Amino acid sequence: MDFNIQYLTYNIGMDKKEFYIEKIGQRGRIKIYIVDGFAIRKDLDEEFTNFGQHFRFKCIPEYEFWLDKEASPNERKFYIDHLLIEWKLMKEGVSYKEACTRADERERAERKRHEKNNNVHLKIIGKVKDKIKIWTISGKTVRDSLDIDFTEGGHDYVYSYVPKDEVWIDNDVTEKEKPYVILHELFERKLMKKGYDYNNAHVKASEIEWKARHDDEKLNKSLKKLGYEEVSNK
> Is 64 inside any structural domain?
yes
Answer yes or no: is 1 within a domain.
no
Q: Is residue 91 part of a domain?
A: yes
- Residue 142: which domain range? 121-230
User: Is 210 part of any domain?
Assistant: yes
Do residues 125 and 221 share a domain? yes
CA distance 14 to 4: 16
Q: What angle do CA 25, 30, 32 make, to 5 degrees?
A: 35
Measured distance CA(161)–CA(225) in Å, rounded: 27
Residues 145 and 224 in one domain: yes
What pTM value is reported for the model? Answer: 0.77
The pLDDT tens digits of the residues spanning 135-168 come to: 999 999 999 989 999 999 999 999 999 999 999 9
Please state the rounded mean pLDDT for residues 49-57.
93
- Please report, for residues 70, 117, 142, 154, 223, the alpha-carbon distance to residue 145 in angstroms, rounded to integers and kept in the order given: 19, 9, 5, 16, 31
Tell me the C-alpha to C-alpha distance, in Å, between residue 44 and each of 6, 28, 216, 227. 12, 27, 18, 30
| Residue of 72 and 77 predicted with greater confidence | 77
- Which residues are CB-neighbours of 49 under 8 A, at least 6 positions away? 37, 68, 151, 152
Which run of H or E residues covers position 154?
strand 153-155
Run of H or E residues at 223: helix 216-225
Tell whether 47 and 138 lie within a shared domain: no
- Assess whether 143 and 61 both reside in one domain: no
In a domain, 3, yes or no: no
In a domain, 179, yes or no: yes
Domain boundary among 47, 81, 114: 114
Domain count along the chain: 2
Residues 179, 131, single domain; the answer is yes
CB 169 within 8 A of CB 152: yes
